[in-house]
Amino acid sequence: MRPEQWQHFKAAAKRVPNTPVPLSLIVDSPWIPGHLGIRHQDYYFDSKVWFDAHRRIIDAFPDVIFFPSWWAELGMAAEPSALGVRVRFWDHQTPSEERIPFRLDDLDQLVAPNATTDGFCPLILHRYATQKQRIFDAGYTLPIVAARGPLCTASFFRGVTPLMMDLVEEPERVLQLLEICTTFVIDWLKAQTAAIGQSVEGFLLLDDIVGFIGKAHYEEFAHPFLKRICDAFPADWVKVYHNDASVAACLERLPDAGFDVLNWSHLTPMAEACDRVQGRMTLMGNVPPLQVGVRGTPDEVEAAAREVLQAAAGHPLILSMGGGVSPGMPAANIHALSRALRRL
C-alpha cells in the first residue's frame, strides 16, 4: 500500500464527505502464493520471497489498495500457536491447526500468552522489524496490524463444535477463556505496533465465529470483548472488522463496538446492510468471492461490482469482495473490478 492509497482508504473508512469509492482487497497467503506460483513455506519463511511477492502484486494491480498491506502472517497459525495449538505446514496450502485436548476444568491454570515470545508471534514480529525499513524505502507504508478475534482464537483452542456447546453448558468458563483471549489479542496488536512503529494507524480484526451465534450470545460472548479491543486503541485509528460467516445477529451493533469498517459476506445483500447500518460504518464489499470472483468471467465480475456500487446508493463504501480474495481468483477478474469502478 502506498501512502496516498492509505489516505484514500482512511478517508473512506472515516466517512469523510465526497471521498471517492476506493477499491480495496484483503489478500494474504490463501491467495498470494498460488497466484504467483510459489511455495507456501517459501512465502512464510523466506523474507526475500515474501517481500518480492508483495511487490509483484502491487505492481500488477496499481489501482487496487491491497489490505492490510505487507501482512506478515502464517495463515491463521499465529494466535492459536501461542496458546499451544499444534500447527502443520504444507507446500501448497495454508497451515492446518490441530487443537491439543484441554479440559475447561483446568482453565484456572491457563494464562494469556506473551505476544512477544510465544508460538509463532516472535517470527512475525521479526519479519516486521527487519523488513519495515525496506518497505518504507521502496515508497510504501505499513498502516495496519492484524489479529484474529477472541472467539476465533478460542475456537482454535477448544474446537468450533465444543466451543458452541460450551456457550450453553459452561458459559462462565467460556467468559473466562474469552478474557484470556481478549487480553492476548490486545497485547498481540500492540506488539505488532511496537515492532512497526509510528506508521501504524489502525487494525484489522478477523472473527468469523461471531457469525455462528445468535443475538443473545453475541451480546454476552462477543460484543463486550470486541468493544474492549476497539477501546484499547486511539479513537482516530481505523478499525476494520472482517466476518464472512454471518452478520445477521450483530450488524447494527458493530458500530457501537467501535468499528469503522465492516468486510462481510455477500449472503447479506448490500442494500440490506446499508439499511441496517444507516451510515454509521463504512461497508467493505461485497462481490461474491467464489461464485463470481473465482468462477465468474470478467464480464460477470464487472456486472456484480456495478450491482454492488448501485445498491450502495451513496452509503459509505469501499468496493471489495464479500470477504478476502479466494484462492484461484484470476488477474483478469481483479482488473474487472477496477474497470467497473472507473466506468461507474
Closest CA to 308 of 286, 329, 291, 326: 286
Task: Reply yes or no on whether the pLDDT at 101 is more than 90.
Answer: no
Only one residue has cell 473508512, namely 13
Q: Which residue has the cell 466506468?
A: 343
Q: How many CA atoms lie within 13 A of 9 on its CB side?
A: 31
Do the beta carbons of residue 97 and residue 87 sit within 8 Å?
Answer: yes
pLDDT at 248 over 90: yes
Q: 99 pLDDT exceeds 90?
A: no
Residues of 23-54 as b/e, b for ≥16 C-beta within 10 angstroms?
Answer: bbbbbbbbbbbbbeebebeebbeeeebbbebb
Cβ atoms of 211 and 254 within 8 Å: the answer is no
Q: What is the pLDDT of residues 254-285, one digit of tens each?
A: 999 999 999 999 999 999 999 999 999 999 99
What topology does CATH give the domain 3-343? TIM Barrel (3.20.20)
**111: pLDDT confidence band, cut at 50, 70 and 90?**
confident
Residue 160 neighbours by CB distance under 10 Å? 16
Q: Give the Cα separation of 74 and 87 in Å (integer).
A: 10
Place of cell 446492510: 273
Q: Tell me: pLDDT of 88 over 90.
A: yes
Q: Give the residue-averaged pLDDT of 49-75.
A: 96
Q: What is the DSSP string of 198-239?
A: TT--EEEEE-GGGGGS-HHHHHHHTHHHHHHHHHTS-TTSEE
Alpha carbon 135 to chain centroid, angstroms: 21
- Joined together, the cell numbers standing for residue 231 give 477501546
> 10 Å Cβ neighbour count for 119?
22
CB atoms within 10 A of CB 312: 20
In this model, does residue 133 exceed pLDDT 90? Answer: yes
Whether the predicted pLDDT of 50 surpasses 90 = yes
**Residue 137: is its pLDDT beyond 90?**
yes
Mean of all residue pLDDT scores within the chain: 96
pLDDT per position as a tens digit, 284-339: 999 999 999 999 999 999 999 999 999 999 999 999 999 999 999 999 999 999 99
Region 55-70: mean pLDDT is 96
What are the residues facing 285 on neighbouring strands? 319
For residue 82, the model assigns a pLDDT of 95
Mean pLDDT, residues 168-195 taken together: 97
Task: Give residue 307's pLDDT.
Answer: 97
- Domains of the chain, residue spans: 3-343
Grid cell for residue 344: 461507474
- Burial class from Cβ neighbours inside 10 Å (0-12, 13-18, 19+) for residue 332 reads exposed
Say what the pLDDT of residue 38 is.
97
pLDDT at 103 over 90: no
Ordered DSSP codes for 123-164: HHHHHHHHHHHHHHHTT----EEEEE-HHHHHHHHH-HHHHH
